[in-house]
Amino acid sequence: MAIYTKDLGGPLLASVSRSFYLSIRLLPRKLRDSVGLAYLLARASDTIADSPAVPEAARLQHLAAFARMIRTGKTDGVADLQHDIHTPHPGETMLLCNLDRCLQWLGQIENKDRGEIVDVLEKIIRGQTLDLERFSGSAHVIALQSAEELDEYTYLVAGCVGEFWTRMCLNHLPGCSTLGLADLRKLGAEYGRGLQLVNILRDFPEDLRNGRCYLPEPELRAAGTSPTPLIDAPVKAQPVYDRWRERAIAQLDAGYEYITKLRSVRLRAACFLPWYLGLRTLRLLGKPGALERAEKVKVSRMTVRFAFVYALASAFSERALAWSYRRATGKAPPAPAVVEEEKPRAAGGEGQV
């Protein structure tokens, strides 16, 4: 029997996302349900992983059980999960209360889309599981041991989402890009990695207080410091932090190119929002004293509102997109991205728009 899902993809989705909900609403209609559901399931797994009051062993057990639920469509274990996992976030609490309905909704999704959702959630949960395993069992700050570990993590929890988004778009809107799947998917993965790296850099001081350091320990030691002293003086990591901030900018430059390769104005607008807000966040993180601030660095609500306006303009105009890049970064857009003057078009009828 079909279940009612309008509230899941509407008020519930809006309650657990600040800006991504806007991106989903901008998507062509045929993409909204599957992408929205994938986000809800990923947010649920993130809530399970990020519940510090619950012992790590229990969180790992619930993540594995949740992965099985997604893979098999069976809801055995939902009640135990809802009993054990608690969050102060009202939206996340409501999401956990409706987890069985989200899983039932997954069972109603068309087979190809369901396969894509199952595949991307498997990668995301693997990344969250690795995260718990790597940062457990120590009274001191634990750091990742290599750049490869950080690249692996950003791919598993976000780069694969860029690939998922790309496959979904090309499955439903075959003419939506001037690039083929392989090239567009590579840009999407880099773009996704960049967005996750923004989150890691923004949360760096808070993560240190929670015993986690995503900046590789060998790089920190080469800069004359180590993970544990950074709790009181995160600015000691500034040279390493700045290099990874430049890496994030380069990855979001791939997001700029990704947008330029899209024909659909709705897709361009949807992809613009997280890209622009990510660049604005990186600019704030590059200001003097950013690592010494007590409060978390984040863009203002006014910036989010203006980003929506810029997204609509950039969906139709390469010139507006380049202006938005300069607005966000203070510099000219990357040259390889501006390679053609072809205007976005609504090829293929209403669904392409």
The encoded tokens of residue 188 equal 């999407």
> How many other C-beta atoms can be found within 10 angstroms of the C-beta atom of residue 74?
12
Mean pLDDT of 310-321: 96
Task: Output the CA torsion 318→321→322→328 (10° steps).
Answer: 180
Buried b (16+ CB within 10 A) or exposed e, 78-116: beebbebbebeeebbbebbebbbbbbbbbeebeeebbeb
User: What's 19's DSSP letter?
Assistant: S
The single residue listed with the structure tokens 């991106």 is 23
What is the rounded distance in angstroms from the CA atom of residue 50 to the CA atom of residue 128? 9
The single residue listed with the structure tokens 């657990």 is 16
Mean pLDDT of 288-308: 91
Mean pLDDT of 250-256: 98
Fold of 138-336: Farnesyl Diphosphate Synthase (1.10.600)
What is the rounded distance in angstroms from the CA atom of residue 69 to the CA atom of residue 28? 28
Would you say 17 and 277 are in contact if contact means Cβ atoms under 8 Å apart? Answer: no
Domain boundaries, the chain: 1-109, 138-336
Mean pLDDT of 153-166: 98
pLDDT in tens, 173-218: 999 999 999 999 999 999 999 999 999 999 999 999 999 999 999 9
The model's confidence at residue 338, banded by pLDDT at 50, 70 and 90, is very low
When the pLDDT of each residue in the chain is averaged and rounded to a whole number, the result is 92
Mean pLDDT of 323-346: 71
